[in-house]
């Protein structure tokens, strides 16, 4: 499970970077949506880790909170990009 979580975490930042490198608001937004999906993949793995007692409830709660903060940041970036896209049309 650890390698899957690591891949999903790396996917979050990799997708944001790839989207940024496209120089297109719409493509950047799409890559951010993919990054957001990776956050939810991590959350799913955390639930599994908790269910299998690989992590404690306290560890789960801390990681869950951090993942949701990342998700909110990505959502904020998506909203920013949408506004910028509208300003340039």
- Give tens-digit pLDDT for 12-25: 999 999 999 999 99
What architecture does CATH give domain 2-87? Up-down Bundle (1.20)
**Which residue's entry shows tokens 């793995």?**
45
- Give tens-digit pLDDT for 33-56: 999 999 999 999 999 999 999 999
- Give tens-digit pLDDT for 55-64: 999 999 999 9
Q: Between the CA of residue 85 and those of 29, 52, 53, 58, 60, what are the distances in Å?
A: 10, 44, 45, 41, 37
For the question of whether the overall pTM of this predicted structure is more than 0.85, the answer is yes
């Amino acid at each position: 499970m650890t390698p899957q979580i690591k891949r999903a975490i790396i996917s979050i930042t990799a997708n944001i970077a790839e989207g940024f490198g496209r120089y297109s608001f719409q493509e950047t937004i799409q890559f951010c949506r993919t990054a957001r999906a990776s956050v939810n993949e991590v959350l799913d793995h955390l639930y599994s880790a908790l269910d299998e007692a690989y992590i404690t409830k306290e560890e789960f709660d801390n990681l869950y909170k951090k993942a949701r903060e990342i998700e909110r940041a990505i959502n904020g970036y998506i909203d920013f990009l949408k506004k910028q896209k509208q300003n340039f049309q």
